[in-house]
Amino acid sequence: MKEELYARVILDIISDAVDRPFQYLVPPGLQEKIKIGSSVRVPFRSREITAYVVGLDKKPEVDTLREISSLQDEGALQEELVELSYWLSRRFFSRWIEAIHLCLPPGNNKVRTKYVELILPLLSAKELLEEKTKIKKRALRQSLILEHLAQAGEEGLPWNDLKKITGAGRQSLLSLINKGLVKIEKVPGERVFTDGIAASAPGNTNLRFSPQQEAVWKEIRKGFSSAPQELLIYGVTGSGKTELYLRAAEEALSRGRTVLILVPEIALTPHIIEQFRGRFSGEFALLHSNLSAGERFEQWWRVKRGDARVVLGARSAVFAPLENIGLIVMDEEHENTYKQSDSPRYHAREVAKWRAAYNGSVLLLGSATPSLETYAEAKNGNIPLLKLTERVGGRPLPAIEIVDMRQEFKERNKGIFSRKLWKAINETLLRGEQVILFLNRRGFSSFQLCRQCGYVMRCPSCDISLTYHASPEHLECHYCGYKRVAPEFCPKCKSPHIRNFGLGTQRVEKEAKSSFPNACVMRMDSDTAVGRGAYIKILSAFREQKAAILIGTQMIAKGLDFPDVTLVGVIAADISLHLPDFRAGERTFQLLSQVAGRAGRGDKKGKVIIQTFTPWHYSIQAAAKHNYHGFIEEELKRRRALSFPPFSEIILFSCSSPQEKKAAETAGKLRVSLIKNLPSLSAGKEELLGPFPAPIKKINGRFRYHLLYKGDNLGLKCEIIRSIVWNYKKEIRGDIRVVVDFNPLMML
Ligand code: ADP
Ligand code: ZN
Ligand code: ZN
């Protein structure tokens, strides 16, 4: 008699109740075929559902086991990804199945939409907007659809996207069709949405490296013989990092290995994609969430089948089904977009490290402003630090000037533009060159800033900016809950001009238009760049000189290359500097450095003007001098003093409920539970702060309360913390959610 075989499977149901392996008997006919990573159909309760095999046993755990019904896909997941998904679910506090979903083909193998419904406007943009004003009051959804279609132009937008953006239902669409404003067209998914990014010429594969590049290349080559090996390339913008990535990719391929390239955001990095596509053409695959379902699916399968051996993509591409990875590149490794903000809340850098270790790959982390976490590792000697300090061709970095807005205030200039920036914009426009105006972030939380002296109210124990609350009026620290009254006079200079600070791109646009009536002004932020390809459209219009001034948020700060931009103005460096976040200084430095990299990319000389009420701040001073080391040493000192990462790790617990009292209560009880069950916490070796309301206290009708756990090597405690929280969750009744985020990047 044949030996019996049992499979442990993870059910494809997103629920805590089934978040563990279930054992099933493997029918004799399938014993040879089923592997770890196969997808199968199993009976569960009264249904049949999909499940993934995560283990095979010779012995049953109980006597009465049900049998697997059928085998779906023998090699749905490679064994590496099964292990990865387990690790990821523990480390980042998700269900195992959620982590598995990350590794499956896009669309999760469900029926793929072969056709896409495209909604096309039947009127011009102007006419659509006129129609919109007519129906605005009665039908909000319809007017939203019209607004987005007006922006998208004659190519229209896929219904699926419109639905998502506007929240509209079929009924709204049908009304618009009946009114003769739009029509539906069914088009094959594959045809419509290419990513819109060309392939550049194969490029010069035997380009002579500069001496600095050559030195870095030697280290990378060495890395291949001692892999797994992590390397940090710290290289200023334009120093030739991409060229090194390309060469490293060729090296990996020549060794019979595959290549994974991660970039922060596809839409913002056309340059690197063009080069990789040009160099590796048939072997290249782009994994990109902005492709149509069909195309995404096709690209993914090319990777899975082994046809494409060089894969480029954003965060989620880190789960690409590549085998035998020889090289992983993470460009702009400091970028926030590498961390996923919903479950599983993973960081792609950590996943990349895991895969590099598993596959024995070279991992190249590249940045002009490496994150503190990575830099600290380099400093400790764990990762070799490779430097590229000069731009290729000796092109100079742009000159940066700081404008003290306190002075403007004193001299009664209450406008958005300082006199210096105004003059510089004017001169640039007269020369027929282009200007980028940059607002670090759209204002959401307000802080109090003294216009007279630049003083900002901060927490005495956390050094985080205090957030202003209107009713009842007070200031609050969102790390420790410290509260105080809002002062009427500046504690430092006694001026009464201490007020809330907030500024949006729309206001900048309005003022730019009125200050420079002859210039064409464009704005790019998450309001204007909606729908597929919208970013690329706005950017290429700007590249084609259809506007002289581009106003935008951090979206425009990254990776862009406009030869005719010779002036970059930072409207208010203070906005990102005073976010209630311990990384505010780091973010500001990174943003300013990147923005500065936008100016003077061509042959013309560039100039950057930074406006701020806080001109003495080390982040701003260091950015203005292109002084990464100066910045990072100061920042490390501060982080160490307050034991923030990289000198600690943080776990954020966020409890939310439609009722504020419930949210606060849940967080309070969770605190008690954590302290009771974690001896290291009660012994005072670690800190648990809170509960206190989140900086954005209410989102989507839910009140949010935070607990913040700070300590060394919390990564080792994920398992126990998980069981405490999961046990606690079982006791919760009503509409309450508890979210756990390991090393969060945003604590809003
Ligand atoms: P980074 O990725 O660091 O911003 P890139 O790799 O894009 O820099 O290089 C900037 C520019 O210099 C590109 O146009 C690239 O083709 C060119 N370049 C890079 N290395 C060399 C080299 N060794 N010789 C000549 N040109 C180079
Ligand atoms: Zn003051
Ligand atoms: Zn505090």
Residues 94 and 156 in one domain: no
Q: Which pLDDT belongs to residue 117?
A: 79
Q: Which pLDDT belongs to residue 110?
A: 46
Residue list, CB under 5 A from ion ligand 2: 450, 452-453, 455, 490, 492-493, 495
Phi, psi of 369 (to 5 degrees): -140, 75
Q: CA-to-CA distance for 440 and 572, rounded, in angstroms? A: 7
Looking at all shown ligands, the one closest to residue 213's CA atom is: 1
Q: Which pLDDT belongs to residue 613?
A: 94
pLDDT at 226 over 60: yes
Count the Cβ atoms, other than its own, within 10 Å of residue 653.
Answer: 24
Task: Please classify residue 579 by burial: count the beta carbons closer than 10 Å to its beta carbon, then call 0-12 exposed, 13-18 middle and 19+ buried.
Answer: buried
Q: CA-to-CA distance for 309 and 312, rounded, in angstroms? A: 10
Whether residue 235 has its Cβ less than 6 Å from ligand 1: yes
Ligand 2 mean position to 492 CA, how many Å? Answer: 5
Residues 604 and 515 in one domain: yes
pLDDT at 682 over 80: no
The one-letter amino acid code at 249 reads: A
For residue 39, being part of any structural domain is answered with yes
The closest-lying atom of ligand 1 relative to the alpha carbon of residue 203 is 16
Looking at all shown ligands, the one closest to residue 233's CA atom is: 1
The one-letter amino acid code at 477 reads: C
Residues 156 and 267 in one domain: no
Residues 234 and 340 in one domain: yes
Please tell me the total number of residues recorded for the chain in this structure. Answer: 748
Residues 434 and 579 in one domain: yes
Phi, psi of 324 (to 5 degrees): 55, 55
Whole-angstrom CA distances from 347 to 229, 343, 581, 632 are: 19, 11, 18, 22
Whether residue 240 has its Cβ less than 6 Å from ligand 1: yes
Q: Of 102, 127, 152, which one is at a domain's C-terminal end?
A: 102
Ligand 2 mean position to 456 CA, how many Å? Answer: 8
pLDDT at 83 over 90: yes
Ligand 3 mean position to 639 CA, how many Å? Answer: 14
Q: CA-to-CA distance for 94 and 342, rounded, in angstroms? A: 10
Identify which has the larger pLDDT, 391 or 646: 646
Query: Which of 36, 35, 25 is CA-nearest to residue 2?
Result: 25
Instruction: Give the position of tokens 């797994």.
Output: 228
Q: Which pLDDT belongs to residue 435?
A: 94
Q: What is the CATH number of the domain that holds 67?
A: 3.40.1440.60
For residue 323, being part of any structural domain is answered with yes
Q: Which pLDDT belongs to residue 197?
A: 59
Whole-angstrom CA distances from 486 to 492, 503, 692 are: 14, 20, 18
Domain count, the chain: 6
Whether residue 213 has its Cβ less than 6 Å from ligand 1: yes
Q: Which pLDDT belongs to residue 200?
A: 62
User: For residue 132, what is the DSSP state?
Assistant: H
User: Which spans in 573-652 are helix H?
Assistant: 574-577, 584-598, 618-624, 628-641
Ligand 3 mean position to 459 CA, how many Å? Answer: 5
The closest-lying atom of ligand 1 relative to the alpha carbon of residue 368 is 3
- The residue contributing the CA closest to ligand 1 atom 15 is 240
- The residue contributing the CA closest to ligand 1 atom 18 is 240
| 3-class state of residue 281 by DSSP | helix
Whether residue 241 has its Cβ less than 6 Å from ligand 1: yes
The closest-lying atom of ligand 1 relative to the alpha carbon of residue 209 is 23
Q: Which pLDDT belongs to residue 194?
A: 46
Q: Return the beta strands (E) in 670-736 as ranges.
A: 687-699, 702-711
Residue 558 banded pLDDT, cuts 50, 70, 90: low
For residue 234, being part of any structural domain is answered with yes
Residues 338 and 258 in one domain: yes
Q: Which domain holds residue 264?
A: 211-394
Q: Of 69, 102, 135, which one is at a domain's C-terminal end?
A: 102
pLDDT at 94 over 90: yes
Residues 604 and 709 in one domain: no
Residues 736 and 627 in one domain: no
Q: Pick from 388, 392, 594 the residue to mutate for probing ligand 1's pocket: most ligand atoms within 8 Å of its CB.
A: 392
Q: What is the CATH number of the domain that holds 660?
A: 3.30.70.590
Angle at 140 between CA 134 and CA 141, to 5 degrees: 115
What mean pLDDT comes out for the span 227-252? 93
Q: CA-to-CA distance for 32 and 569, rounded, in angstroms? A: 65
Residues 479 and 348 in one domain: no
Query: Which of 255, 249, 261 is CA-nearest to residue 225?
Result: 255
Q: Which pLDDT belongs to residue 68?
A: 96
Query: Which of 3, 44, 47 is CA-nearest to residue 21?
Result: 44
Chain segment 286-308, per-residue pLDDT in tens: 998 767 777 788 888 889 989 99
Whether residue 210 has its Cβ less than 6 Å from ligand 1: yes
Q: CA-to-CA distance for 562 and 181, rounded, in angstroms? A: 37
Whether residue 207 has its Cβ less than 6 Å from ligand 1: yes
Whether residue 366 has its Cβ less than 6 Å from ligand 1: no
Ligand 2 mean position to 618 CA, how many Å? Answer: 19
Q: Which pLDDT belongs to residue 193?
A: 38
For residue 732, being part of any structural domain is answered with yes
Whether residue 299 has its Cβ less than 6 Å from ligand 1: no
Mean pLDDT of the chain: 87
Count the Cβ atoms, other than its own, within 10 Å of residue 75.
Answer: 12
Looking at all shown ligands, the one closest to residue 387's CA atom is: 1
For residue 747, being part of any structural domain is answered with no
What mean pLDDT comes out for the span 229-241? 92
Residues 70 and 37 in one domain: yes
Ligand 1 mean position to 391 CA, how many Å? Answer: 8
| 3-class state of residue 45 by DSSP | coil
Residues 663 and 736 in one domain: yes
Q: Of 502, 522, 540, which one is at a domain's C-terminal end?
A: 502
Query: What is the DSSP secondary-structure string of 715-726?
Result: GGGHHHHHHHHH
For residue 131, being part of any structural domain is answered with yes
Residues 548 and 422 in one domain: yes
Ligand 2 mean position to 406 CA, how many Å? Answer: 10
Ligand 2 mean position to 554 CA, how many Å? Answer: 29
Per cent of the chain over pLDDT 90 is: 54
Identify which has the larger pLDDT, 598 or 203: 598
Cα of first residue to Cα of last residue in the chain, in angstroms, is 61
For residue 717, being part of any structural domain is answered with yes
Q: Which pLDDT belongs to residue 530?
A: 67
For residue 200, being part of any structural domain is answered with no
Identify which has the larger pLDDT, 21 or 180: 21
The answer to whether residues 468 and 475 touch, using CB atoms and an 8 Å cutoff, is: yes
Query: Which of 526, 608, 605, 620 is CA-nearest to residue 573?
Result: 620
Ligand 1 mean position to 105 CA, how many Å? Answer: 34
Q: What is the CATH number of the domain that holds 384?
A: 3.40.50.300
Identify which has the larger pLDDT, 259 or 730: 259
474-476/467-469 β-pairing: antiparallel
The one-letter amino acid code at 638 reads: R
The pTM of this model reads 0.82
Looking at all shown ligands, the one closest to residue 480's CA atom is: 3
Q: Measured in whole angstroms, how far is the alpha carbon of residue 671 from the centre of its chain? A: 29
Handedness of CA 632, 635, 639, 645 (dihedral sign): negative
Chain segment 420-474, per-residue pLDDT in tens: 999 999 999 999 999 999 987 654 567 889 999 999 998 888 788 888 877 778 8
What mean pLDDT comes out for the span 193-209? 62
Ligand 2 mean position to 453 CA, how many Å? Answer: 4
Q: Which pLDDT belongs to residue 705?
A: 93
Q: Which pLDDT belongs to residue 397?
A: 79
The answer to whether residues 358 and 323 touch, using CB atoms and an 8 Å cutoff, is: no
Looking at all shown ligands, the one closest to residue 487's CA atom is: 2
Q: Which pLDDT belongs to residue 447?
A: 85
